[in-house]
Amino acid sequence: MFDRKLYLRAAEELRDNKGQWDAYNSKGNCVVLAGPGSGKTKTLTIKLARMLAEDVDEPRGLACITYNNECARELETRLDALGVQQERRVFIGTVHSFSLTQIVVPYAKTANLGLPDNFAVANQQQQEQVLGRAFSKVYGRGNPASFKFDMNTYRRSILNRESKEWYGINERLAKLAEAYEAGLRERGLIDFEDMPLLAMRALRDHEWIQRALLAKFPILAVDEYQDLGRALHRMVLGLCFSTGMRLFAVGDVDQSIYGFNGAYPELLEQLSKRADVETIPLQMNYRCGSKIVAASELALGAGRGYQARDGAPEGKVYFHPLQGAQSTRADHLFDSIFPAIQARNPSLRLGDIAILYPTAKIGNAVADAARARGLSVIRADTK
């Protein structure tokens, strides 16, 4: 048991923010639409501590699904500061980790998932070998590696393989996925993509597994819902709206940038509009000034009701329209825009500036321009 005084004291910091306070006091299924800089992680962790202390009796607990391991570690650190230790009754991890450890491993045999008792997760080399053989069967010649991304996207996108879509949209990709998965199974292997897909299948086909999870975790929390994809959404619909597990989800459809990787932010929007879900917006932005908040809504093309906190500097937004080749624009960035930024902010170093671009090709032009001036670069879109 943990000291309730810690989270109760922290909760007082939420009282002056209506959205945060409403989220903290929510009772049933709840979706928190958290705008940028709105204190959503703080709200989530304090709410998790409260639910664990007040709404769940031991030995039952709750599960919190996050987008990646870094998010999980952040939540663990914050919960630890509130006196909540990660223990058997608290699961914090990715959807893949939840699928593997809470569903696939415990129930693979009884759910008839077609896995041997000692199945393993395929490493990169094993995946490449299996994909190469599957590719030869389906496509013949070509580069198997160039099809891996599309194949995995296809696997994530069409969950019902009995539907007309599975073969109807891209029959060859469907057959490649089937041959690849069959090759993994022959070796007693699964891969990263298999984890939520197998878990979803187990939940769909066996209601008793849903009830078993409900007995263990009467509450399911989900962070960054907009980025977690169709398999998780299907799990949520089954567990929370069929079985009765309580949902507390946090996300923002405007912050989804992983559509290329199987994210469907419209699923969060659909969830927030359900009649059996309380939807609470967090509209106070603690990070940016009023001009930047206004510019963000202008860029979105839709009003979200975001507000800057009282007393925050207004901030400034500069626009630099420029035509021409990518190399020309990259040169202008270093020769004109950056010097102007540093003139306005003398203490700012080039290493403090991040450059965002929509494609790797543009990133190449920016990196080339930097190197031509003797500057090193750190890129997040390449190894």
Average of per-residue pLDDT values in the chain? 91
Residue 1 has a pLDDT of 56
* CB-based contact 87:244 (threshold 8 Å): no
| Same structural domain, 211 and 97 | yes
| Same structural domain, 99 and 201 | yes
| Same structural domain, 179 and 206 | no
At position 191, the amino acid (one-letter code) is D
| Same structural domain, 249 and 349 | no
The mean per-residue pLDDT over the stretch 92-106 comes to 96
Q: Which of residues 135, 154, 186 is at a domain's end?
A: 186
Does 207 fall in a domain?
yes
Band (pLDDT 50/70/90 cuts) for residue 36 is: confident
Residues 325-368: tens digit of each pLDDT = 999 999 999 999 999 999 999 999 888 899 988 888 999 999 99
CA 366, CA 326: separation in Å to the nearest integer?
A: 8
Residue 172 has pLDDT above 90, yes or no: yes
Residues 333, 338, 339, 344, CA torsion sign: positive
User: How many domains is the chain built from?
Assistant: 3
Q: Which of residues 186, 221, 236 is at a domain's end?
A: 186
User: Radius of gyration (Cα) for the chain, nearest Å?
Assistant: 24
Residue 115 has pLDDT above 90, yes or no: yes
Band (pLDDT 50/70/90 cuts) for residue 229 is: confident
Residue 146 has a pLDDT of 94
Instruction: Give the closest residue to 92 by CA, choosing from 129, 25, 45, 149.
Output: 45
Please spell the DSSP secondary structure of 282-348, one letter per residue.
E-EESSS-HHHHHHHHHHHTS----EEPTT------------S-HHHHHHHIIIIIHHHHHHH-TT-
Does 351 fall in a domain?
yes
Residues 284-312: tens digit of each pLDDT = 888 888 888 888 878 777 778 888 888 88
Nearest 5°: the CA angle 68, 73, 78 is 130
Counting Cα atoms < 13 Å in the Cβ hemisphere of 311 gives 0
| Same structural domain, 149 and 100 | no
| Same structural domain, 261 and 179 | no
Residue 252 φ then ψ, to 5°: -155, 115
* CB-based contact 3:86 (threshold 8 Å): no
| Same structural domain, 150 and 88 | no
Name the residue range of residue 128's domain: 123-186
Residue 380 has pLDDT above 90, yes or no: no
The mean per-residue pLDDT over the stretch 166-172 comes to 97
| Same structural domain, 44 and 174 | no
Residue 297 has a pLDDT of 78
Tokens of 171: 């029959």
Band (pLDDT 50/70/90 cuts) for residue 273 is: very high
Does 60 fall in a domain?
yes
Tokens of 198: 């197998």
| Same structural domain, 30 and 172 | no
Tell which phi-psi region holds residue 220, choosing left (phi > 0), alpha (psi between -120 and 50) or beta.
beta
| Same structural domain, 8 and 99 | yes
Residue 244 has pLDDT above 70, yes or no: yes
CA 255, CA 304: separation in Å to the nearest integer?
A: 13
Tokens of 321: 């329209």
The mean per-residue pLDDT over the stretch 153-167 comes to 94
